[in-house]
Amino acid sequence: MTANPTGFEPVFCTIVPPVVLDRLAQSSDPALAKAARRTLQRDAYERTQRRLTTVIGAPSVAAPKGAEEGKPHRTIHDAKHRTDLPGRKVRGEGDKPGKDATVNRAYAGLGATFEVFFKHFERDSIDGGGLPLNATVHYGEDYGNAFWNGEQMVFGDGDREIFLDFTIPVDVIGHELTHGVVQYTANLTYFGQPGALNESMADVFGSLIKQYTLGQTADQADWLIGAGLLAERVTGKALRSMKEPGTAYDDDVLGKDPQPADMDHYVRTGRDNGGVHINSGIPNRAFYLVAEALGGHAWERAGQIWYAVLTGGELAQDASFTDFAKLTVAAARAKYGDGDELKAVLDAWAQVKVPTA
């Protein structure tokens, strides 16, 4: 985003309202349409960048008074089925559980996520500097989704037809928080392969948080994302399977789980930001294979290798699967030498057909 390769600077940049630019972008005059389109693209891009730098460049939000290092600073808000964020504060750090199970689950899930990152990855909160953790529950009406908006987590109650409450699976809570960690570290672009890596990171750490809360080893874990989220009438066990991508659900309404299990079946698509929730199946399975080969708690060795790559500073924002795979090989070697870990990583990527050399 420095030089303009064409040398042509659209004169209406930032002055003309987006609606007019949109109309110009559809103009029959190609020069006009092209310039307008470029402005719109840049505008969208810069707005995102601004949002990212605001968060990344800013000094960490001050921890509340009396806060201790190594303790989370959680606040849960209730949107009361509206969409204004963050909504009304319903539970702060240290407050006793209330009557609302959704609020209590969100609070506990944030705590578990904080604990895993702090205890096992020596990371103090999302930004590594004790950032307060904010979540909003009961977002929108029949809202079947959860997301990370760049600053906080947002959870819907589901429509009850297909999705239940998004705070039910702790891995979903861990997933959303991990998007925050990714934003503060490698900041992988949310499109195509880097986007699928961003999604995969969120699934990997989301699953580790679930395994940690259940005290499971790699062979005991179900490696499912979103188990317990699907309504009873849906034919499926979860939304994604890291162990067997493509097998999580097969339903009349939802269709079949579209995740590929290896690079030969990589899905090229424009939908879902270039298939970020689809192709994440490939790096997800690679992680599962490493964890399964090494045995024990998956956050101990497999998780350490993945985390080292995420936070090591060499993972580019636009990294491909191959770029990522190569860095995991290097990280395994650097951390553990020429041993089981290195072999497990090489074998895993070979199985999902992502080259590492």
Partner 1 sequence: MRIQVKRTGGFAGIDRHAEVDTTARPDAQEWHALAERAEAEGRGTPPVGVPDGFSYQITIDGRTVYCSDPRLTDDQRTLITRVLKEGS
Q: Does residue 45 bind partner 1 (CB under 8 A)?
A: yes
Task: Return the number of the residue (83 or 220) whose C-beta is nearest partner 1.
Answer: 83
Applying CB under 8 A, among 53, 54, 83, 235 the residue interacting with partner 1 is 83
Q: Which two tokens stand for residue 94?
A: 């240290």
- Around Cβ 351, how many Cβ atoms within 10 Å? 14
The residue among 117 and 349 lying less far from partner 1, judged by its C-beta, is: 117
Q: Write out the DSSP string of 129-168.
A: S-PPEEEEEEESSS---EEE-SSSEEEE---SSSB--TTS
Q: What is the DSSP string of 39-81?
A: HHHHHHHHHHHHHHHHHHHSPPPPPPTT--TTS--EEEEE-TT
Q: Give the three-class secondary structure for 148.
A: strand
Q: Which two tokens stand for residue 326?
A: 């190569």
Contact status: 26 vs partner 1 (CB under 8 A): yes
Q: How far is the CB of 301 from partner 1 (least distance, A)?
A: 27
How far, in Å, CA of 355 to CA of 357, rounded? Answer: 6
Catalytic residue from among 73, 179, 277, 297: 277
* Residue 239 touching partner 1 (CB under 8 A): yes
CB 48 within 8 A of CB 146: no
The number of residues that bind partner 1 (CB under 8 A) is 49
* Neighbouring residues of 266: CB distance < 8 A, sequence distance ≥ 6: 260, 279, 282
Distance between CA atoms of residues 198 and 205, nearest Å = 11
Contact letters for partner 1, residues 161-200 (x by CB under 8 A): --x--x-----x--xx--x--xx------x-------xx-
Q: Which of 187, 273, 322, 351 binds partner 1 (CB under 8 A)?
A: 273
Q: Any bridge partners for residue 256, and if so which?
A: 250
How far apart CA 22 and CA 232 sit, in angstroms, is: 43
Query: What is the rounded CA–CA span in Å between residue 176 and residue 160?
Result: 21
Residue 4 interacting with partner 1 (CB under 8 A): no
Candidate ranges 63-71, 95-103, 125-133, 141-149; the one touching partner 1 (CB under 8 A): 141-149
Q: How near is the Cβ of 226 to partner 1 at its closest, in Å?
A: 7
- The nearest distance, CB 290 to partner 1, in angstroms, is 24
> Is there binding between residue 319 and partner 1 (CB under 8 A)?
no
Rounded to 5 degrees, φ, ψ at 176 are -65, -45
How far is 71 from 341, CA to CA, in rounded Å? 32
Q: CA triplet 99, 101, 107: central angle to 5 degrees? A: 105
Binding mask 53-72 for partner 1 (x = CB under 8 A): --------------------
Phi, psi for 139 (deg, rounded to 5)? -80, 130
* Active site annotation includes 176: yes
Binding span for partner 1 by CB under 8 A among 17-25, 64-72, 100-108, 317-325: 17-25
Under the criterion CB under 8 A, does residue 134 sit at the interface with partner 1? no
The residue from 73, 77, 93, 176 that is catalytic is 176
317 touches partner 1 (CB under 8 A): no
Where in the sequence numbering do the catalytic residues fall? 176, 277
**Interaction site with partner 1 (CB under 8 A):** 18-19, 21-23, 25-26, 37, 40-41, 44-45, 47-48, 83, 85, 141, 144-150, 154, 163, 166, 172, 175-176, 179, 182-183, 190, 198-199, 202, 226, 239, 254-255, 258, 271-273, 275-278
